[in-house]
Amino acid sequence: MSGLPPIAVVESNDPLETPRRVALVHPDIRPAVRRSEERMVMTFPHLIVREIILFQVVTIALSIAALLFDAPLQGIANTTETPNPAKAPWYFLGLQELLHYFPPVVAGVLLPGLVVIALVVIPYARVNLTAGPLWTGRGPRALLGVAAAILAVAAFAAVFDCWPVVVPTLAVGAAMLAARGGERGGGTRRAFARVTLPEWIMTWFVIVASVLTIIGTFFRGPGWSFVWPWTTFRTW
């Protein structure tokens, strides 16, 4: 806050004393504040109308889906008869697929727990706040470090025969390494070179989670065996 006069703080408990300014917060102290010359519009009607339209569009889309596709209802719950395969809801199928490779403590508790903790920590980790493109200002030691990390993760997954993690890790890792030196390339190469480390990590996570979920949904049959999606099988 350069250029501002020094401020004398006077403490007084006398209610009749004229309040004095104790601090002046310069309005631009926060990074995510709008510019003063940005164009503003009235909330009503512009934003309100768009919110109404959004609600209508979502309602119509869901209504069309509800008219065309029926929610499933199988036979009544039978505690003595486990369907084969017994699948969790789709957002847990990635975890269930992971359970196929790792022991339950790892797949069911450790990994989801770490994911939640990692998510919560994102805005407080300095690497996320100051991140520039992955390779900018980083020498050959960083190259070794990144390659080692990629191989470590892939090796850990490979020990457990978890190919759905190994393959995307190596693929994303290869893209990360190939992005090095891409600032001087064409449009796509430049775009890849600009990706920051947190973005690479999140992209890796999204790809791995999607692959696991897709396999769990479409490629798993009785006994959690590998089947092609078009294979029909009965669950009892």
Partner 1 sequence: MRTPTVAALSGWLRDTSVYRSIVRHGVEDTNLNRSLVVLENLFLHVHPVKVREKTLRLGHTFWLGGITLACTGILFATGILLMFYYHPSVPQAYQDMKELQFVVDNGLFLRNLHRWGAHLMVFAAFAHMLRVFYHRAYRPPRQFNWVVGVVLLLATLGLSYTGYLLPWDQLAFWGVSVGTNMVRAAPWIGEPFRFLLLGGHVVSENALLRFYVLHCVVLPVTLILLVSVHIWRVRKDGGVQGPPEDVP
* Segment 58 to 87, residues that bind partner 1, using CB under 8 A: 58-59, 62-63, 65-67, 69-79, 81-83, 86-87
Angle value at C-alpha 116, between 100 and 208, nearest 5 degrees: 45
Q: Which of 4, 42, 126, 186 forms a contact with partner 1 (CB under 8 A)? A: 42
Q: Between residues 66 and 174, which has the closer beta carbon with respect to partner 1?
A: 66
Q: Which of 7, 22, 47, 114 forms a contact with partner 1 (CB under 8 A)? A: 47
Site mask for partner 1 (CB under 8 A), range 188-217, x = bound: ----------xx--x---x-----------
Q: Which of 20, 22, 51, 148 forms a contact with partner 1 (CB under 8 A)? A: 51
Residue 132 lies near partner 1 (rule: CB under 8 A)? no
Beta bridge mates, 71: none
Query: Any residues with CB less than 8 A from the CB of 213 and at least 6 apart, and which?
Result: 90, 91, 93, 94, 97
Q: Which residue shows structure tokens 């294979």?
A: 231
Residue 126 lies near partner 1 (rule: CB under 8 A)? no
- Minimum Å distance from CB 68 to partner 1? 9
Q: Between residues 134 and 154, which has the closer beta carbon with respect to partner 1?
A: 134
Q: Between residues 10 and 41, which has the closer beta carbon with respect to partner 1?
A: 41
Q: Is 133 helix (H, G, I), strand (E, B) or coil?
A: strand
Q: Which two tokens stand for residue 16?
A: 């009749």
Q: Which two tokens stand for residue 68?
A: 């065309």
Q: Between residues 23 and 33, which has the closer beta carbon with respect to partner 1?
A: 33
**Distance between CA atoms of residues 231 and 93, nearest Å:** 19
**Distance between CA atoms of residues 84 and 77, nearest Å:** 14
Q: Between residues 18 and 79, which has the closer beta carbon with respect to partner 1?
A: 79
- Minimum Å distance from CB 60 to partner 1? 11
What DSSP designation does 70 have? P
Q: Which of 48, 144, 152, 191 forms a contact with partner 1 (CB under 8 A)? A: 48
Q: How far is CA 58 from the centre of its chain?
A: 23
**Applying CB under 8 A, what is the total number of residues that bind partner 1?**
71
**Distance between CA atoms of residues 19 and 28, nearest Å:** 25
Residue 50 lies near partner 1 (rule: CB under 8 A)? yes
**Distance between CA atoms of residues 93 and 216, nearest Å:** 5
Residue 30 lies near partner 1 (rule: CB under 8 A)? yes
Q: How many residues does the chain have?
A: 236
Q: Which of 22, 24, 54, 148 forms a contact with partner 1 (CB under 8 A)? A: 54
